[in-house]
Amino acid sequence: MSTDPLAQKVLDGTPPAEPGGEHGRAGGHGAGRGVLLFERTALLVLLVALCVLFSVLPESRSDFASLTDVRNIAADVVVGGVLALAAIIPLVAGEFDFSIGLTLEFSAMITAGFIVRLHQPLPVAIIAGLVTGLVIGTVNGYLVAFRKLNSFIITFAIATIVTGLVELYANGNSILVSSDALTNFGLTSSLWLGIPRSLYAFVFIALVVWYVLDHTPIGRYWHGTGSNRSAATLVGLPVRRLVFLSFVASGLLASMAGILYLSQQGSATPNVGQGYVLPAYAAVFLGATVFKIGRFNVWGTVVAVFFVAIGSTGLVFAGLAPWVQSVFQGAVLIIALGVTKVIGQRRGTETALAGPKL
């Protein structure tokens, strides 16, 4: 297809209207831009401030100064971060997927089982783990997109079923992995240019998700589907297929998180997955307050993942009891939603955040 000749003609003919020209009132544009830039990067500034604070506080100074601990935090971010990326895509398309935690757990379990119980080579085991995620995503997607069932409830139900399957498969025990190739990759001390290797995996996956969401038509279609479903139908988008694919993608990403979890921990354990879900959603919603305010976005989520990790670990380093972590994460989620709403209202947009309507 060519560029739109209708529009092109006008482009040649008349100069485009000056932004904020005769009808939009120019009122403190320069100051407005500054405020906007600050709002867009406020979380980043806060993240830096947090790092400085914890490096200065006497209680946490020693931990924060140690390179090993910094690497530990960085490595800790990987599993939760990839899971947050799994949560983003259905959210962008206007749906919730709460089964990602169990998908993580079950994929790790299946991969470990293929290595230990079935004695399959590592690539086969990894593929089995990924297929597990694809299957769960497909079931979710089918029920939500084509059977039109509420994603909130359905993914909870699926997560509950998977909990049972994990129990059945694991029999209540952890499966220890014997593959050095896998576990060496995940070791915090396994570095590449001084950075834990699993962190590269996170960054690579984030790049791919960012590219798909922001630089391919399907990403734009997902945004449209989440923004207004009837308008999406109106402009000819295959809404149901898009919703279905968003769950498949999220299942696949959650299984990647599971395999990374396995490589870091060296074992697959029942009842660990669900604990990653709330921090993942907190990060995604908090991420929507950075860079592109009011929109779920990948780099905002990445910053938020670090913010949540450094915040909650730092609090413990600073000598506070571990329960503070949970309170911190929940509070972050509430504040993130509040901030997006306030900023949205001030700009006169009606919905602060496009996404699932409950």
Partner 1 sequence: MTAGETGSGAVGPAVQEEAGRRHLELRSITKRFGPTYALDGASLSVGRGEVHALFGGNGSGKSTMIKVLAGVYRAEPGGEIQVGDVVSAAPQWTPTAARNAGLRFVHQDLGLFPALSVAENLAMGHGYATSPAGRIRWPQVRREARDVLSRLEIKVRVSQLVGELRRGDQALVAIARALQDEEIAGSGVLVLDEPTASLPEHEVTVLMDALRRFAQMGTSIVYVSHRVDEVQEVADTITILRDGVDILTTPARAISKGELAEAISGAAAADGPAAGRAAAHGGGLEPVLAVTGLAGGPLRKVDLTVGKGEIVGIAGLLGSGRSSVLRALYGMLPGATGRLILNGTPLAGLSPAQGMKRGIGYLPEDRSEAGFFDQSVAENLSASRTASYWRGGRFQRGRERGDALSAISRFKIHCDGPGQPLSSLSGGNQQKVLVARVLLRQPQIVLLDEPTQGVDVNAKAEIWSLLRQSIAESGISVLVVSSDFEELAEQADRVVILARGRILREISGPDMTSESLARAAYGDEEALGADEEKVQP
Q: Interface with partner 1 by CB under 8 A: which residues? A: 1, 3-8, 10-11, 14-17, 19-20, 23-29, 32, 214-217, 220-221, 223-224, 227-228, 230-238, 294-295, 346-351, 353-354
To partner 1, the closest distance from the beta carbon of 175 in angstroms equals 40
To partner 1, the closest distance from the beta carbon of 124 in angstroms equals 31
To partner 1, the closest distance from the beta carbon of 234 in angstroms equals 6
Of 226 and 279, CB closest to partner 1: 226
Of 75 and 343, CB closest to partner 1: 343
Residue with tokens 């990839």: 82
Tokens read off for 298: 């990948």
Of 28 and 172, CB closest to partner 1: 28
Of 36 and 331, CB closest to partner 1: 36
Of 126 and 206, CB closest to partner 1: 206
Half-sphere exposure (Cβ direction) of 303: Cα atoms closer than 13 Å: 22
Q: Are 99 and 277 in contact (CB under 8 A)?
A: no
Residue 1 CB neighbours (<10 A):
3
φ, ψ at 195 (rounded to 5°): -120, 140
To partner 1, the closest distance from the beta carbon of 161 in angstroms equals 33
Nearest to 329 by CA among 310, 353, 351: 310
CA distances to 156, 220, 231, 233, 335 from 237, rounded to whole Å, are 28, 10, 9, 5, 34
To partner 1, the closest distance from the beta carbon of 90 in angstroms equals 17
Residue 350 CB neighbours (<10 A):
6
Of 164 and 338, CB closest to partner 1: 338
Q: What is the DSSP letter of 207?
A: H
To partner 1, the closest distance from the beta carbon of 26 in angstroms equals 7
Contacts for 299 with CB less than 8 Å, ≥ 6 apart: 206, 210, 287, 290, 291
